[in-house]
Amino acid sequence: MIRKNNNPAPIKDILSKLTIEELNIKGKKIFIRADFNVPLDDNLSITDDRRIRSTLPTIDYAIDEGAKVILASHLGRPKGKVDPRFTLAPVAKRLQRLLGKEVIFAQDCIGPQVEGIVSKMKEGDVLLLENLRFHAGEEKNDEEFAKALAKLADYYVNDAFGAAHRAHASIVGIPRFLPSAAGFLMRKEIEYLKGTVQNPVRPFVAILGGAKVSGKIGVLENLVDKVDKVIVGGGMAYTFIRAMGYEVGDSLVETEMLEFAEMIREKLIANDVKFYLPVDCVISQSIEAGAETKLVTTQEIPKGWRALDIGPASVKLFSEAIQDAKTIIWNGPMGVFEMDAFSRGTFAIAHSVSDAYALTIVGGGDTDLAVHRAGVSDAISFISTGGGASLQLLEGKELPGIAALTDRKEE
């Protein structure tokens, strides 16, 4: 989702693949792989439709160009079997409302019945296929399943950035059989996440949080010689603090990552990168609601207590560190923000990031949820729709779903 008008490096410098605008789709059947993996409540009502809305520009473009639009997605983990808890029927209803036009819903995603529906489609029609993961062939990247999906269309467009790191049939299988391009959301994700790291406006600040250092190894290694400042919060901070020789009570520490943490810290400092860790924290003996909490410095965490949020001095330190930033990438919360007692640090940083006069990019997953709960999502330049996919791009890796698309011919 795009917010401020802060543009990173031009897209042509970054994406060497075809995009939907380069396909002649009028009157053609276009298979759009979307990421409609949205949260549902017990009544199968959608509780958050941001992932659906983020693909609307691509769908609207295809409709306006007179294509026959075939949409496909996974939802949840039905493990290759039909499971009514994971039907995409609620998504079809929501899409119908958002598009303001009929969305045909197929009871399956392959087979004669689906092919019959597709054969009757007119220009501008929209069809949503049932959950791809109701077939085991999807996650196994089965060639016959990919062929059956490809048989439905003339062109393939991937707009499912949140699934682009998966080597599944609908992500890397179909492009073997059809001319394939990136949708608008996919293009934007690459532009912001990859383009910004390659060509940042400085000072460039990376804020990393979440539970474990091991989940961010690749990001830290990739950013070591690219950023001006690194701020580390969340559970992963205490592995760094322990590696420096301080006691951290019962706070989360990955003992197998201590050597790596110290190596990365020393490398950052040797590269003249300013490195920030929490100086105080909110601690508790349990994560239960109503449990006793204390505010202590990070060097005074007693045994039996663990750090679950950054404290106000850390908030002030981190906020001052990002004040002069021109580019900020944030991936991972500062604490267990889902619980009110440990949410203040994450929400305070969300406000500081949103107030910065900078291009601000938030990685998917928990950080996306945090900025929405903090009420500042509209003030963030770009919020990624992918958790694992955004991490892989920040690690400098190529995503299978992007690699599989048709290369653009250089003029």
Tell me the pLDDT tens digit for each residue of 302-319: 999 999 999 999 999 999
> Closest Cα to residue 372, out of 347, 341, 352?
347
Which of these three, 134, 152, 182, is where a domain ends? 182
Q: Could you tell me if 176 and 240 lie in one domain?
A: no
Q: Which of 182, 209, 242 is the last residue of a domain?
A: 182
Contact predicate 271/224, CB 8 Å = yes
CA distance linking residue 259 with residue 214, whole number of Å: 12
Each residue's pLDDT tens digit, 167-197? 999 999 999 999 999 999 999 999 888 888 8
Residue 159 has pLDDT above 90, yes or no: yes
Tell whether 407 is covered by a domain: no
**pLDDT at residue 120 greater than cutoff 80:** yes
Q: How far apart are CA 295 and CA 313, in angstroms?
A: 10
pLDDT at 288: 84
Q: Cα dihedral angle (369, 375, 376, 382), rounded to 10 degrees?
A: 40
Q: What's the mean pLDDT when you consider all of the chain?
A: 92
Same domain, 248 and 346: yes
pLDDT band with cut points at 50, 70 and 90 for residue 408: confident
Mean of pLDDT values over 104-120: 97
Sequence-separated (6 or more) residues with CB below 8 Å from residue 411: none
Model confidence band, residue 364 (pLDDT cutoffs 50, 70, 90): low
| Among the listed residues 203, 188, 119, the one whose alpha carbon sits nearest the alpha carbon of residue 158 | 188
Reference 402, options 191, 152, 137, 246; nearest CA is 191
Q: How confident is the model at residue 410 (pLDDT cuts 50, 70, 90)?
A: low
CATH of the domain at 324: 3.40.50.1260
Q: Hunting for tokens 């990919």 — which residue is that?
A: 146
CA distance 74 to 163: 9
Q: Are residues 61 and 94 in the same domain?
A: yes
Question: Is residue 309 in some structural domain?
Answer: yes
pLDDT given for residue 3 in this prediction? 43
Looking at residues 30-36, what average pLDDT do you find?
97
72 with 105, same domain? yes
Same domain, 119 and 259: no
Residue 224 belongs to some domain of the structure:
yes
CA distance 334 to 315: 10
Using alpha carbons, list the distances in angstroms from residue 258 to 217, 253, 350: 12, 8, 28
Structure tokens at 353: 């990031």
Q: Are residues 287 and 359 in the same domain?
A: yes
Is 70 exceeded by the pLDDT of residue 7? no
The tally of domains found in the chain comes to 2
Backbone angles phi, psi at 302, to 5 degrees: -70, 160
Q: What is the structure's pLDDT at 10?
A: 42
What's the rounded Cα separation, in Å, for the pair 282 and 309?
A: 5
Lowest mean pLDDT among 59-63, 232-236, 279-283, 390-394: 390-394
CA torsion, ordered 61, 59, 171, 74, to nearest 10 deg: 180
State which residues form the domain around 57: 20-182
**pLDDT value, residue 2:** 40
Answer yes or no: do 235 and 286 share one domain: yes
The answer to whether residue 377 scores a pLDDT higher than 50 is yes
Residue written as token pair 């939907």 = 20
Residue 293 vs residues 210, 281, 342, 354: alpha-carbon distances, Å:
20, 10, 9, 28
Is residue 393 a contact partner of residue 399, using CB atoms and an 8 Å limit? yes
The answer to whether residue 409 is domain-embedded is no
Q: Are residues 201 and 169 in the same domain?
A: no
Q: Are residues 142 and 120 in contact, defined by beta-carbon separation less than 8 angstroms?
A: no
Pick the last residue of a domain from 156, 182, 208. Answer: 182
Residue 18, Cβ neighbours under 10 Å: how many? 19
**195 and 244 housed in the same domain:** yes
By percentage, how much of the chain surpasses pLDDT 70?
96
Q: Does a structural domain hold residue 1?
A: no
Mean pLDDT value across residues 351-376: 90
Catalytic center residues: 51, 212, 365, 388
How does pLDDT run across 62-73, given as a tens digit for each residue?
999 999 999 999
Within a domain: residue 231? yes
Residue 393: its pLDDT value, please? 86
Report d(CA 151, CA 97) in Å as an integer.
29
Averaged over 221-238, what is the pLDDT? 93
Q: Are residues 53 and 95 in the same domain?
A: yes
Regarding whether 126 and 206 lie in a shared domain, the answer is no
Cβ atoms of 260 and 220 closer than 8 Å: no
C-alpha 252/C-alpha 307 separation (Å) is 8
Answer whether residue 410 is part of any domain. no
Q: What is the mean pLDDT of residues 353-379?
A: 90
Do residues 149 and 199 share a domain? no
- From 65-74, 142-151, 371-380, the region with the lowest mean pLDDT: 371-380
Question: Would 144 be classed as within a structural domain?
Answer: yes
